[in-house]
Structure 1
Amino acid sequence: MTSVARALWREVMIRSWQVDRRMTVGVALLVLGQMIAAAAISLALRQVISSVVEHSRTMLLVSVAVVAAAVAMRWIGMYATVMLRGDLADRIGYQQFDPEIQSAAAGLGGVEHLERPEYLDRLSLVVGKGQVLADACWGVNSTVAITGQAVLSLVLLALVSPWLLLLGLFALPAVRRGSPGRISGAAMAAAGDNRLERHLHAVTTRASSGREIRVTGAQESLLAKADSAWQRATAVQLRARWAAAVRSAPGSLVFLVGFGAALVFTAHLVATGRRTVADFVLVASLAGQLQASIAQSGRDYRQTQAGLALAEPLAWLREYCAGQTRTAAAAQLPERLVHGLTLTDVEFGYGSGAGVLGPISVELPAGAMVALVGTHGCGKTTLVKLLHGFYPPSAGEIRVDGVPLRDLDLRAWHARSTAAFQDFHRYQVTLRHAVGFGDLEACDDDARLLTAIEQADGTGVYRMLSNGLDTQLGTLFEAGRELSEGQWQKVALARACMRTDPLLVVLDEPTASLDPPSEHAVFQRHAALARELGAAHGTVTIVVSHRFSTVRMADLILVMEDGRIVEQGDHSALMESDGRYARLYRMQEQAYRLDDEPSKLSDDGFPGAAPAAPSARR
């Protein structure tokens, strides 16, 4: 075992003791009892033969009773051991390991790890495998017990003839298990293809992607790619298993030769009168048990090795999560923003790729409503991700009232933030929870929920649902009600309105799926809400939008291009400067005045393909 596997074994044994001391001791005693029972069976069989030869009825009855009791003890003990060991592994795996793994992964403040293949590969190996990990560690104990039973068998064989100890040498090649590193390495190497196969099959079975797949006719291609990924992953693992089997096969043949030689040698001793028939029965029984122990150890080894192969990914994940988690000594988050958010020479690039943002230096004053405008891909969404702490800047610094964001407890920062992202999630739960997830403690507060829905202009959505807040959304589950894209976005906006004391509010294209009347109503409500939150908590509200008419009410407008801020100021100042913002604002304003004439602007609010007339917009 590697040092990582040994550490995991110690951890599981400690957890087993803490979970149920009596059961842990019971399993240990049952394993010991099976070892003794196996030896007792062989010795009692020897005595049975001796009693028959010596015509000793009493000893015969006693010996038969011992054989029966030992056989019963062994088989009942095996069944009880499997059940009790399985119960311990279930309790440790399902109730401890699995929740801990999921909590550690979900508890990370950022999202950078969710885009790292080395993280996702290891997570895919261990998530939901807590029971396998725990059972593998108990499998180590079984392997030790089987080894002890083999040693005891050799000791008893030596009572017949010391030469029979040589059978142990013949057993060594059989018990030597090769390629543990190759098997665990194969699991790691196949993890990426296994993830790809699951992803492609999931894509082909989801309604959201199913429409496009059927229109394009890509079903067969996607399934073929999924099958290829599965074939590659399976081939890697099969090669490792075949290699292990090939290395083990010669050892089994060597033991069979030794087994046969031991029987021939004992038969010779019996024939020459140096040993009795009872001794031959003892040797045959013990050698058979030794062979069975070797076979059992092989099965246990494969299962144990498969589980212990997860020890390294688990240790890697734990170390990674521990390194990313903020300590309790993090700086205190202010109750109210006084100065606001400060970005100084902030730069960012995804992975090892080129920078996509910065350098950016800007002040976002406390209580201000800030608008970010620019073309797709200019860095607007990336910037708000940095403000949330989802990614650390590649260079520069973000400060919250003068305190570096990296020094704050990200969980506390997220608890005082709220957001409606452009790629919002469609939670297929009840409306109560789909909105209440924005503030879990208020899920049962109907008044809070309805207020948030109203602020998102979602009252119409609420009224159309037969069971109100308790209506199941989506069609994945029975009696679910499907919503339009715009209605789903209103649910997401309502979710973002649940928190009453945020320090940061982000609305990333919050009306992209709404019609113009709803868009106007939402922005009016959020502008008023931003003023209220700003006055009460110094909240900074950031609105990301490509529609200039909706951002003119902002206190500060940041115009972004190629990852940089090229203009900043309020609407009046930017119009007076007659720069890029002013020119594009006038172009978009003119386009919206034309009811039937094609616009000069794309949906981004910048020169490009002409969109539909405003009356035709969703």
Structure 2
Amino acid sequence: MRWVVGSAVFVMRLAAAVDRVRLLKAIGLMALGYLATPLVALGLREFTDAAVSGRAGTATLVITGVAVLLVMELMLGHFAHLSYFEVGELAETDLNERLIRTVNGSSGLERLDDSTFADGVNLVREELGKTRTAVESVLQLGGLVLQMSLTTVLLVTLDPRLALLPLAALPSVLLGQRAQGLVERAREATAESTRRTRHLLDLATSPASVKEIRLFHAEPPLMLEQDACWSRTSAALRSAHLRAAGVRALGQLAFALAYGGAITLVIWEAARGRAGAGDVVMVITLAVQVSVQVAGSATLLTALQGVGRTLDRLTSLQDPAPPPPAARADRSGRAAALVGASVPEALAEGIRLEGVGFAYPGTGRMILRDVDLTIPAGASMALVGENGAGKTTLVKLLCGLYRPTSGRILVDGADLAEIPPREWRARVAPLFQDFARFELLLRENVGVGDVARVEEEAAVTRAVGQARADGIVAAVPGGLSGLLGHGYGPGVELSGGQWQTLGLARCMMREDPLLLVLDEPAAALDAAAEHAIFDRYATLSGEAGHRRGAITLFVSHRFTTVRMADMIVVLDGGEVVENGDHRALVSHSGLYSELYHLQERIYR
């Protein structure tokens, strides 16, 4: 019941917030429509008595009133629907926005790596569409309560014992909630399996993966795995639904016995001359209405219980408030109070890492260990290492997407953990290997790099020019206003290199970055194309470094690109094993020299 009451209050507050006028209009229309239903039973009693006694005029007048009530019952509900449907859509939009803010509202990406969080998001995302009807459910439930109250009053006028008929609905309602609890627990238990099932389905139907699946003849094992996952999920859900149906049936059986007893009581009273034919007709009509009211209430309560659980999940997903700044000991052992810091307009010293370690949440496995590193302002730095060495993790830490598990990162002496994440990220221009492919207008695809200026054509055109993406604009029908991708309309599909070039243009939207990042964005390109990309980026980042001391950080497996950096950092097993420029590292005969000469022999 807690979920029902809580969700009803929440939904009504939300509906009032999004459109109070439409909500009040819907409430008024539905109240009149629901009150008309019991009055129809009262009218039928008067009509029956008038007809039996031969009062034709009275019977005609009463049946006309009954017809008007029936029209009100039908039409007022329809007009109310026009109002509350729009309110429901607005409420669903608001909840979707809350989910988006919840998923993207945490300061880092740690929660996105949590499987429990992912399961919760998946459950909320699947169920959130049903909240569109939550406003309707609450209004209908309120109407049924009002209707049942009037029905009870009418029954009591015949025989006080008939007041027990609506109360007989209570077991049905309580057992219905218990049944819904069984289903919800089964859904929670199968959330991970459901997510895996959908992932396998996406793999089998996504254009990005289907070509490899077909060439490798991987359809049969994927289909078998998907079928096995879905079989396990559906078996658990089927069992829960069957148990729930049995529980609901017990509640309905209890009410059916009460329903039959009420009709028997009135017929018995009529046989003894204590009730007329009209009373029997009214009781039968009201009993049918109570049956409908009970069934409708049980369905609506079940729906609201589900909405309540969804809202609870949405609330539980919200990132808890960050803890207050605490004292942290520096390397000398002295405790220093952490205070808020701001992003400098330009870098004077650079970025320093002191004893930085990191483990992804829930794994306990250290990806980086005790990393000490100084990146001077205005410098370019390349990260080198074998796969799994920790290069991308270090990049994410410097971008502020994660916080170190141990140690700290200093930006011109200020702890990055104390700089507001939004402020620092606004000064980072990233291009990752898995760069986003926004199937939007070309202008929006580039302009999202600086959302505040997405509609400024001059700014977008400048970024396109700096990334040398003018040819892409010319090839897309409509130019900057042309649609990209086929997912949401007849847009233009681009090659991987073209998407990557637009990703570079997004970076160029930020005119005053302090950190420019390229994390293997051209891994799928040939060496010449990659070198051209990095050369273009180096020219632009050099200008930023000269103006604001900006630091350029890039990751690449190609040493023809790596040697362009002012300094090269070699990672192995999450630790810095070498640090210097290309000439010094090659002559050192360490890991860098080994990797460099190995690649050199391959190219030769």
Relative to the length of structure 2, the TM-score reads 0.88
Partner residue of 2:526? 515
Write out per-residue CA displacement over residues 243-279 of structure 1, whole angstroms, 9 at most, x where no aligned residue: 2221121232232222222222222222222222222
Question: Measured at CA, do residues 160 and 586 of structure 1 come closer, stay the same or move farther in structure 2, by a change above 3 Å?
Answer: closer
Question: Measured at CA, do residues 555 and 249 of structure 1 come closer, stay the same or move farther in structure 2, by a change above 3 Å?
Answer: same
Partner residue of 1:501? 512
**Equivalent position to 1:425, from 420, 423, 436:** 436
**Equivalent position to 1:373, from 353, 367, 384:** 384
- Does residue 583 of the first structure (1) align with residue 581 of the second (2)? no
Tell whether the 8 Å contact from 2:369 to 2:575 is kept in structure 1 after alignment: yes
Q: Partner letter of residue 390 of structure 1?
A: L
Partner residue of 2:64? 65
Partner residue of 1:334? 344
Q: How many residues align?
A: 587
**In 2, Cα distance between the equivalents of 1:267 and 1:444?**
76
**In 2, Cα distance between the equivalents of 1:51 and 1:460?**
87
Tell whether the 8 Å contact from 2:7 to 2:307 is kept in structure 1 after alignment: no
- Does residue 541 of the first structure (1) align with residue 552 of the second (2)? yes
Which structure 1 segments of 5+ residues have no match? 593-598, 600-610
Tell whether the 8 Å contact from 2:351 to 2:412 is kept in structure 1 after alignment: yes
Question: Measured at CA, do residues 316 and 137 of structure 1 come closer, stay the same or move farther in structure 2, by a change above 3 Å?
Answer: farther
Partner residue of 1:388? 399
Tell whether the 8 Å contact from 1:102 to 1:127 is kept in structure 2 after alignment: no
The SS at the match of 1:439 is helix
- Does residue 201 of the first structure (1) align with residue 177 of the second (2)? no
Q: Partner letter of residue 267 of structure 1?
A: I
The SS at the match of 2:402 is coil
Higher mean displacement: 375-384 or 514-523: 514-523
Partner residue of 2:335? none
Partner residue of 1:155? 153
- Does residue 351 of the first structure (1) align with residue 350 of the second (2)? no
Tell whether the 8 Å contact from 2:114 to 2:362 is kept in structure 1 after alignment: no
Partner residue of 1:77? 76
Tell whether the 8 Å contact from 1:108 to 1:324 is kept in structure 2 after alignment: no
Question: Measured at CA, do residues 259 and 454 of structure 1 come closer, stay the same or move farther in structure 2, by a change above 3 Å?
Answer: closer
Q: What is the Cα deviation at residue 471 of structure 1?
A: 5.8
Higher mean displacement: 12-21 or 529-538: 12-21
Q: Partner letter of residue 435 of structure 2?
A: F
Partner residue of 1:363? 374
Q: What is the Cα deviation at residue 542 of structure 1?
A: 0.8
Q: What is the Cα deviation at residue 395 of structure 1?
A: 1.3
Partner residue of 1:302? 302
**In 1, Cα distance between the equivalents of 2:161 and 2:484?**
76
Q: Partner letter of residue 20 of structure 2?
A: R
Write out per-residue CA displacement over residues 506-543 of structure 1, whole angstroms, 9 at most, x where no aligned residue: 11124433334334433333333333211211211112
Tell whether the 8 Å contact from 1:489 to 1:513 is kept in structure 2 after alignment: no
**In 2, Cα distance between the equivalents of 1:558 and 1:430?**
39
Mapping 1:432-471, distance limit 5 Å: 432-441=443-452, 443=454, 452=463, 455-456=466-467
Higher mean displacement: 225-234 or 289-298: 225-234
- Does residue 183 of the first structure (1) align with residue 194 of the second (2)? no
Partner residue of 1:226? 226
Write out per-residue CA displacement over residues 137-177 of structure 1, whole angstroms, 9 at most, x where no aligned residue: 54234334323433432332222222333434543333332
Partner residue of 1:99? 97
Q: What is the Cα deviation at residue 23 of structure 1?
A: 2.3
Partner residue of 2:116? 118
**In 2, Cα distance between the equivalents of 1:145 and 1:324?**
45
Question: Measured at CA, do residues 238 and 140 of structure 1 come closer, stay the same or move farther in structure 2, by a change above 3 Å?
Answer: farther
Q: What is the Cα deviation at residue 564 of structure 1?
A: 0.6
Q: Partner letter of residue 351 of structure 1?
A: P
Question: Measured at CA, do residues 240 and 305 of structure 1 come closer, stay the same or move farther in structure 2, by a change above 3 Å?
Answer: farther
Question: Measured at CA, do residues 348 and 162 of structure 1 come closer, stay the same or move farther in structure 2, by a change above 3 Å?
Answer: same
- Does residue 562 of the first structure (1) align with residue 561 of the second (2)? no
Tell whether the 8 Å contact from 1:133 to 1:311 is kept in structure 2 after alignment: no
**In 1, Cα distance between the equivalents of 2:21 and 2:493?**
51
Q: What is the Cα deviation at residue 128 of structure 1?
A: 7.0
Q: What is the Cα deviation at residue 384 of structure 1?
A: 0.3
Partner residue of 1:277? 277
Question: Measured at CA, do residues 564 and 167 of structure 1 come closer, stay the same or move farther in structure 2, by a change above 3 Å?
Answer: same
Q: What is the Cα deviation at residue 456 of structure 1?
A: 4.6
Q: Partner letter of residue 203 of structure 1?
A: L
Tell whether the 8 Å contact from 1:559 to 1:565 is kept in structure 2 after alignment: yes
Write out per-residue CA displacement over residues 403-436 of structure 1, whole angstroms, 9 at most, x where no aligned residue: 2222222222211101111222334455544444
Higher mean displacement: 305-314 or 99-108: 99-108
**In 1, Cα distance between the equivalents of 2:27 and 2:324?**
38
Tell whether the 8 Å contact from 2:92 to 2:128 is kept in structure 1 after alignment: yes
Q: Partner letter of residue 362 of structure 2?
A: S
The SS at the match of 2:510 is coil
Question: Measured at CA, do residues 171 and 470 of structure 1 come closer, stay the same or move farther in structure 2, by a change above 3 Å?
Answer: closer
**In 2, Cα distance between the equivalents of 1:280 and 1:224?**
61
Q: Partner letter of residue 99 of structure 1?
A: E
Q: Partner letter of residue 76 of structure 2?
A: G
**In 2, Cα distance between the equivalents of 1:38 and 1:324?**
56
The SS at the match of 2:490 is coil
**In 1, Cα distance between the equivalents of 2:477 and 2:520?**
29
**In 1, Cα distance between the equivalents of 2:138 and 2:476?**
56
Question: Measured at CA, do residues 524 and 77 of structure 1 come closer, stay the same or move farther in structure 2, by a change above 3 Å?
Answer: closer
Partner residue of 2:540? 529
Tell whether the 8 Å contact from 2:430 to 2:517 is kept in structure 1 after alignment: yes
Q: What is the Cα deviation at residue 193 of structure 1?
A: 2.6
The SS at the match of 2:568 is strand
Write out per-residue CA displacement over residues 2-25 of structure 1, whole angstroms, 9 at most, x where no aligned residue: 2x6544433322232233333222
**Equivalent position to 2:162, from 164, 176, 185:** 164
Partner residue of 2:423? 412
**In 2, Cα distance between the equivalents of 1:291 and 1:475?**
51
Q: Partner letter of residue 555 of structure 2?
A: V
Partner residue of 2:245? 245
**In 1, Cα distance between the equivalents of 2:50 and 2:471?**
93
Q: Partner letter of residue 200 of structure 1?
A: L
Write out per-residue CA displacement over residues 310-355 of structure 1, whole angstroms, 9 at most, x where no aligned residue: 12211112x32765999xx963222212222121111111223211
